[in-house]
């Protein structure tokens, strides 16, 4: 079976959720983890049995074995990492926001369109049970007027 080799950059709050999703996907393999906190990166690598650990996102993007990058970093890093990954020929699954501005997001979408790369944007809370409950309450006028 051929696997898609995924790398996760950023192991704070949302990174481990991406790792769990990758580990559940039958055609994906967690091939690398990256975090500026090397202790966190090595702990994640040990927990998930990952051989490759990077303290710098540029190193992961340069790895020819990584096919898709999950960008789970703080917002101010999204645009630079997403751009570098696309330019390196990697698919990108990014946390929101895609970029710091609408113009930056349009530029990244254009880059993905120029190459056969997939560019996905995650809105993880949209289907969260608590968010869905609040949506239903608003739809029925229960919480009052916002």
- pLDDT given for residue 144 in this prediction: 64
pTM: 0.85
Contact 63, 32 (CB under 8 A): yes
With contact defined as beta carbons under 8 Å apart, do 85 and 69 qualify? Answer: yes
pLDDT at 139 over 80: yes
75 or 126: whose pLDDT is higher?
Answer: 75
Most confident range, picked from 80-84, 92-96, 125-129: 80-84
The answer to whether residue 107 scores a pLDDT higher than 90 is: yes
29: its two tokens: 């393999």
pLDDT in tens, 94-105: 988 889 999 999
From the list 87, 91, 76, the residue with the least C-alpha distance to 36 is: 76
């Amino acid at each position: 079976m051929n696997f898609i080799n995924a790398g996760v950059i950023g192991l704070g709050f949302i990174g481990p959720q991406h790792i769990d999703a990758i580990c559940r996907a039958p055609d994906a393999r967690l091939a690398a983890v990256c975090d500026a906190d090397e202790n966190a990166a090595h702990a994640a690598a040990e927990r998930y049995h990952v051989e490759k650990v990077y303290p710098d996102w540029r190193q992961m993007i340069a790895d020819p074995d990584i096919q898709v990058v999950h960008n789970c970093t703080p917002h101010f890093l999204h645009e630079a990492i997403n751009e570098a990954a696309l330019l390196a020929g990697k698919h990108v699954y990014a946390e929101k926001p895609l970029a710091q501005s609408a113009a930056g997001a349009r530029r990244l979408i254009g880059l993905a369109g120029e190459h056969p790369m997939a560019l996905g944007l995650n809105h993880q809370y949209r289907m969260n049970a608590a968010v869905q409950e609040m949506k239903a309450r608003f739809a029925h006028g229960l919480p009052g007027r916002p």
